[in-house]
A and B are shown apart, each in its own frame.
Chain A
């Protein structure tokens, strides 16, 4: 890998100590109220806000507070808000917007770079912002001025690696992942120094010789080195256990299983790492030997509670493979492994609760009918500690999978798949049983949205017909809706400023902030 460090020192930006507008690291440890400082609002990934000014009895009067037009292509970033400033991002672009008025503070466009392309959000450390780009660079930008401080190369774009994942900040670690599965690259996570961009540690999704996981790949070809396991959705963190949780993507070649007989660790796996060293503490493979492109990068959501009478520190994931898992996050022991949509590719579960894939549902030269994926996608789910429900935008779908490149030397996609009919709905899952308590129809032809839950006994999301909706968190009844004229590739967030609660949605190129009417 080529790595270059381009230091573009902007004069006089390094002030000593924390200025008033810097991000207070304590904010990341608390449920989000006046601050939504990360991709998920806080470290837990619950996307739950304790704000309750907007609640189920008054949400019907929700109104537009402001809208911000980026004049960009469709945004799929998660907005963050720190000290009254909202930061939005697109490929190689960031907008800083006044969270009260929607007026632009500054606009950053990376010098010399093409604009457009996806980006899932920025991360903040003190007075700096970090973003990964379509050409797999990590940029560090001054949050005050919107000027670039440095950029480093994360992976090789000529090998079709790309960026976009929102970094995760843990103390003085900027943790980043990577994307790309056309040229059979191995995935990894890296931690870099927030000041200099120097690498602190790297965790490789491909096991090394000596690791028992090495034996989950054949070694008569170089397939284990090309592997897969991309890390393209932001993970979560438990400060007490000091464990970083991250989901990894599918193996390569994507739809050919005979070239890589075995479980193919650490692809489609939830890994728990020490964020100071990058050392693996435990893993749970949520989709062993995937052959359907069911990246299992979906947010590992962290919450505490009693499980069958016993207090537990839990982690839940609803996967692209159609399965819902609840784990004990201290050691990765499975408490629940259950399909939340029909999933005909599952033979059963191994003693650790990991699914066993059916061999006859691997892509075949003459096609095979498969259900289960895309059960959900990366647009984040939410866990509400008041209702104890896990909310996920789901799809019950049937696809036909063709193996087009059989044999052990297959590369790249190696197959074709076509999705046939599908039914979209938001599902509310009981985290003690894995049962779906209720569903809300979200049918339509648009993009999928993420979910936000709040102490106002509400969940905010968007349906696939393009409507923003607020639902009763207990029943799924629609209490408010609005059509903003665009499709969604991300989820809503909320914050409170000057005693006023805002809910922000991004639709196409526009950010909309809603609040209750002012008197």
Chain B
């Protein structure tokens, strides 16, 4: 729930739009189980926040043990190098509370060049197992909609030119027709994490359209557009009430505040995007 920080309703909307809506319409081979965190190993079979904290502490101790003793061959993140990748290891995946991993650590795989680490205590082995389990979880969460990595650093995204971005903002982009760096965009780079800022300036999904519905009598209703599927039109009127009509009985004018963004999307080059982001990132 990284986006659900205190009291930021806009951010919640973004989460819904960015994560949930694409999840609906991009549903592909999904349909199987969502990635599930493996049960904590090493730790006793208890649940709740206490057990989670204990497991996290064990994994942290395991991380430093792993770094000192195992990383030279298996890499610090356990993805392997000279030695096998442990993230993709069938043995590691089938481990339950160290039953598969512990014998390999204590006896080694001498025929394959892995020495025995017989001096580890049971507790240390449990810590290493906890670390490996946490790495599996981390990698399995690294999916299209997963929360890992949490944030893409601004410096990785800000590869363009501030000057070129500013020129685009006031020139061909036409951004300054609706937005101002000292007005609605003041401090925008502080408000959103870098990837969110990039995605949002490209297309701020979730901004609703408005509609003006004219009845045969000439009476007009204006409000937030809720449905316009060709069969029916529905709005939440300025009076707060829900209204709907058969589409063929009324005249419908839709105002989509995102139409300008959609049109711009078709014109952006990748360089325009990078320049504009680099400029917007200065609005702190």
Contacts and interface: CB of A to CB of B under 8 A. Distances in A.
Interface of A: 76, 91, 117-120, 134-135, 156-160, 162-164, 179-184, 222, 226, 230, 232, 249, 254, 293, 295, 297, 320, 360, 364-369, 374, 377-378, 395, 398, 400, 402, 404-405, 409, 411-414, 416-422, 424, 441, 443-448, 463-467, 478, 481, 483, 487, 489
Nearest to B158: A366
23 contacts: A117-B31, A134-B31, A134-B33, A156-B93, A159-B93, A181-B29, A182-B139, A182-B143, A365-B156, A366-B157, A367-B270, A367-B277, A395-B25, A400-B199, A404-B149, A413-B146, A418-B18, A418-B22, A446-B24, A465-B229, A466-B229, A489-B27, A489-B31
A441 B31 contact: no
Interface string B104-122: 0000000000000000000
Given A367-B157, A412-B140, A463 B229 contact: yes
B175 interface: no
B273 A369 contact: yes
Enumerate the 8 nearest inter-chain pairs by beta-carbon distance, A residue then B residue, closest first: A118-B31, A162-B32, A465-B229, A420-B203, A158-B93, A366-B159, A232-B29, A179-B29
Contacts, number: 178
Nearest to A404: B149
Contacts of A249: 29
Given A118-B30, A159-B90, A411-B79, A222 B85 contact: yes
B94 interface: yes
A467 B229 contact: yes
Interface of B is mostly: loop
Contacts of A364: 270
Contact of A420 (B24, B195, B205, B274): B205
Contacts of B274: 366-367
B88 interface: yes
A421 B88 contact: no
Contacts of B67: none
A367 B198 contact: yes
- Candidate in A134, A160, A180, A254 with the most chain B CB atoms within 10 angstroms: A160
B61 interface: no
Interface in B236-271: 258, 261-262, 265-266, 268, 270
B26 interface: yes
- Candidate in B21, B33, B85, B227 with the most chain A CB atoms within 10 angstroms: B33
User: Which size bracket describes the interface of B in this complex?
Assistant: 35 or more
Contacts of B227: 465
A218 to B, nearest CB: 15
A409 B76 CA distance: 13
Contacts of B183: none
B152 interface: yes
Given A249-B29, A409-B79, A404 B152 contact: yes
B12 interface: no
Contacts of B230: 441, 463, 478
B28 interface: yes
Given A377-B27, A419-B26, A398 B265 contact: yes
A444 B228 CA distance: 9
Given A134-B32, A180-B32, A402-B152, A444 B229 contact: yes
A182 B25 contact: no
A378 B81 CA distance: 37
Nearest to A180: B32
Contact of B31 (A76, A183, A412): A76
B93 A163 contact: no
Given A156-B93, A369-B270, A420-B203, A447 B27 contact: yes
A420 B93 contact: no
A293 B202 contact: no
Given A365-B157, A369-B202, A402-B152, 13 more contacts: A117-B33, A160-B35, A162-B33, A232-B29, A293-B144, A295-B28, A366-B277, A416-B144, A419-B26, A421-B262, A445-B24, A465-B227, A481-B231
